[in-house]
Amino acid sequence: MLALVSPALLVILALIVLPVGWLAWQSIYHDGFTLENYRRVFTEDIYWRSFALTFEISLAVTVIALLLGYPVAYLANSVPKGWSILILSLVVLPFWTSVLVRAYAWLALLQRTGVINQFLRYLDVISEPLALVHNTLGTVVATVHILLPFMVLPLYATMQKIPGDLMQAGASLGASPSLTFFRVFLPLSLPGVLAGCTMVFVLCLGFYITPELLGGGRTVMVSMLVSRNVELYNQFGAASAVAVVLLASVLVIFFIVSRFISLDRVLGQK
C-alpha cells in the first residue's frame, strides 16, 4: 500500500509540504530566531486593517454569491436535463476565461466612460457618471462574478441528490409549494450552501489581481500586503508571516466547517 502511494506522497512533499515549510521557516528565522514578523502582523494597524477588510469583502462576496447562486442552482435542478446543461454551461463558461481578462472586462463595463455609465447617461437616469469601479464596490462585483461557479456547482450537486419524492410527499400532505420549499427542500440543501459558502469565502480570502486592478489602490487585501512586502520592501519574512496567518485562518475555517459537514463534500468529492 505504502509503495503504491509513495509517488503521490513524494509529489505532495515536494510541491506542498516543502514550500509551505520553507515559507513558515522564513517567517520566524532571519539571522536568528525571531517573532518580530508576527509581532508586526498582530500589532501594526495596516495589517489589522487589511485582514479586517479582506474578511469583510469575503463575507460580502459570499452572501451575494449565495443570493445569486441559489436561484440559479435551483432552476438548473428543476428544469429538464437539456436546459440544466445549458444553464450550467453558462455558469461555467466564464470560468475558462482568464481572471485578468475578466477584471479588465469589468473595468470596461464599470468605469466612468464605461458601458454602464454611458447607458445610464443616455437614458438620462444620471447626469454625472457613478463611481462604480476603483473602489470596494468594483472589487466586490468582479469577485462575485469570478467566484460564482464555486457557489453554484456544489449547490447543484447537493440539490440533485434531494429525492423529488419528498416534495411530492409534502404536496400530497397538503403543503403549499413554498411551505415544502422552506420545510423540506431548503434544509436538505443546507450542506450544499455550507460547502459553496466555504469555497467562495476561502478563495476570496486570497484574491489578488481583482482588487489590485479594480480597487483603485485603496482596497488593500491581505494578498496585496504579501506582494507589497516582497516587491516594495523586499521583506520576505514579513510576507511569509502574513501568508502563514492567512493559511492558518483558512485551516481554522475548514476545521470549523468540518464539524458540521464532511470536508469531502466541500471539496466536491461526494
Partner 1 sequence: MNMRRTVGLGCGLVGAIGWIGAADAAEQITFVSQGGAYQQAQTVAILDPSAKKLGITINQDSIPDAWPAIKTQVGSGKPIWDVVDTPTGYCLRGGEQGLIEKLDFSKIPNAAAMPEAYRSPYSVSYEFYSSVLAYSQKTFPKDGPNSWADFWDVKKFPGRRALRNHPIATLEAALMADGVAPDKLYPLDVDRAFKKLEEIKPNITVWWTSGAQSAQLLNDGEVDMEMAWNGRVSAVAKEGAKVTFTYNQGILQSTSLCILKGAPNLETAVKFINEAVDPVHQANLPLNIDYGPGNPKAFETSVIKPERAAQLPSEPANAAKQALMSYAWWSSPSGEAAEKRWAAFMQK
Residue 96 is given by DSSP the state G
What grid cell was written down for 55? 474578511
Cα–Cα distance for residue pair 76/268, rounded to 1 Å:
18
Cα–Cα distance for residue pair 191/159, rounded to 1 Å:
10
Query: Candidates 3-11, 60-68, 87-95, 228-236 — which segment interacts with partner 1 by CB under 8 A?
Result: 228-236
- Closer CB to partner 1, 133 or 204, in the complex: 133
Would you count residue 98 as binding partner 1 (CB under 8 A)? Answer: no
What grid cell was written down for 26? 522564513
Would you count residue 270 as binding partner 1 (CB under 8 A)? Answer: no
Query: Candidates 159-167, 196-204, 224-232, 258-266 — which segment interacts with partner 1 by CB under 8 A?
Result: 224-232
- Minimum distance from CB of 223 to partner 1 (Å)? 14
Tally Cβ neighbours within 10 Å of residue 138. 25
Torsion sign across C-alpha atoms 13, 15, 20, 21: positive
Which residues 14-43 are close enough to bind partner 1 by CB under 8 A? Answer: none
Query: Candidates 85-93, 159-167, 189-197, 231-239 — which segment interacts with partner 1 by CB under 8 A?
Result: 231-239
Which residues 151-170 are close enough to bind partner 1 by CB under 8 A? Answer: none
Would you count residue 111 as binding partner 1 (CB under 8 A)? Answer: yes
Query: Candidates 9-17, 148-156, 226-234, 256-264 — which segment interacts with partner 1 by CB under 8 A?
Result: 226-234
Would you count residue 233 as binding partner 1 (CB under 8 A)? Answer: yes
Q: Under DSSP, is residue 181 helix (H, G, I), strand (E, B) or coil?
A: helix
Cα–Cα distance for residue pair 156/194, rounded to 1 Å:
13
- Closer CB to partner 1, 53 or 167, in the complex: 53
Would you count residue 218 as binding partner 1 (CB under 8 A)? Answer: yes
- Closer CB to partner 1, 124 or 231, in the complex: 231
End-to-end CA distance of the chain: 23
DSSP states of 103-167: HHHHHHHHSTTSHHHHHHHHTTS-SS----SSSHHHHHHHHHHHHHHHHHHHHHHHHHTS-HHHH
Would you count residue 234 as binding partner 1 (CB under 8 A)? Answer: yes
Query: Candidates 9-17, 31-39, 160-168, 230-238 — which segment interacts with partner 1 by CB under 8 A?
Result: 230-238
Cα–Cα distance for residue pair 249/202, rounded to 1 Å:
9
Residues engaged in binding partner 1 (CB under 8 A): 45-46, 49-50, 111-113, 131, 134, 212-213, 216-218, 220, 225, 228, 230-234
